Amino acid sequence: MLAFKNVSVSVGHQEVVRDLSLTVAPGELHVLMGPNGSGKSSLLAAAMGLDGYQVTQGDVLFNGQSVLKLSTDERAKRGMGLAFQRPPALEGVTYAAFASAIGAEDILEQEAARLDLAQFAHRDLNVGFSGGETKRSEVLKLILQAPRLMMFDEPESGVDLEHVAVVGQAIKRAVSTQTPDGQARAGIIITHTGLILDHIDTAHGHIISDGRLVHSGDARELFRHVQSHGYRAPAA
Ligand SMILES: Nc1ncnc2c1ncn2[C@@H]1O[C@H](COP(=O)(O)OP(=O)(O)OP(=O)(O)O)[C@@H](O)[C@H]1O
């Protein structure tokens, strides 16, 4: 569904992702780990075509077609979506208005309740939300958009332990639910804490260090390796 092919990404003059290749097939969930500043968010930002993230080498394919020439909006219309690490507050835009604008008003109540945000539907998006509420709200926003490829940038950071379970279950459910035309979705999750791994099914894990993909394997095994040995790739 999504393929990074020898992708390098620059922000300004700084190369932050280097010659990275990674394929995400329908039905799969991939987990990215790596030190602060190693390029994880930049990789997803470049996939979405966000301003400032320049793909200087390689290609990003979605459903077999290069998306590099498409605007972020066009990529979203094709079925790519990203829940941001630090989502902005949108003064004057209530959840109800947002859901209505994207045709998700029928599922708002149910999906908000799943993320324990039922009481937030009348509030402006992220305005005055606590840190953990903002992260849950961002997960809700992507679930309402329901893209075929769901990318989550640190969805559980700052979220209390009980709500990490809520977030994990919501992501697992959303990614494993087919699109209305019967196609499998896929997901990518960036995590530092690894807590989300307790709530999702089998996932492919990847360590990104200094902009390079240095190792791939079962996500839980890889996380245990990181806990005991840091981000160095396991010995072959
Ligand atoms: N918009 C930007 N302007 C300037 N530098 C940026 C920008 N976005 C990313 N960078 C730089 O690119 C590098 C990679 O950042 P990125 O956010 O991709 O790392 P990360 O692996 O997601 O880190 P973290 O785990 O801390 O979230 C960092 O050195 C960061 O400072």
Is the pTM here over 0.80, yes or no? yes
Structure tokens belonging to residue 59: 């290609």
| Complex prediction ipTM | 0.96
How far is the centre of ligand 1, averaged over its atoms, from the C-alpha of 39 (Å)? 6
Query: Which positions ≥6 away from 22 have C-beta within 8 Å?
Result: 3, 4, 30, 206, 213, 216
How far is the centre of ligand 1, averaged over its atoms, from the C-alpha of 92 (Å)? 29
Helix and strand counts by DSSP (H, E) for the chain: 7, 12
If we measure between CA atoms, which residue out of 136, 117, 195 comes closest to residue 161?
195
How far is the centre of ligand 1, averaged over its atoms, from the C-alpha of 59 (Å)? 20
In which domain, by residue range, is 94 found?
2-229
Domain CATH code at residue 14: 3.40.50.300
Q: Does residue 236 belong to any structural domain of this protein?
A: no
pLDDT digits (tens, 9 = 90+) for 165-222: 999 999 999 999 999 999 999 999 999 999 999 999 889 999 999 999 999 999 999 9
Number of domains in the chain: 1
Average pLDDT, the chain: 95
pLDDT digits (tens, 9 = 90+) for 155-179: 999 999 999 999 999 999 999 999 9
Q: Does residue 108 belong to any structural domain of this protein?
A: yes
Ligand 1 in reach of 40 Cβ (< 6 A): yes
Q: Does residue 234 belong to any structural domain of this protein?
A: no
Four-residue CA torsion sign, 157, 55, 16, 53: negative
Ligand 1: which of 8, 9, 10, 11 to mutate, judged by most atoms within 8 Å of the beta carbon? Answer: 11
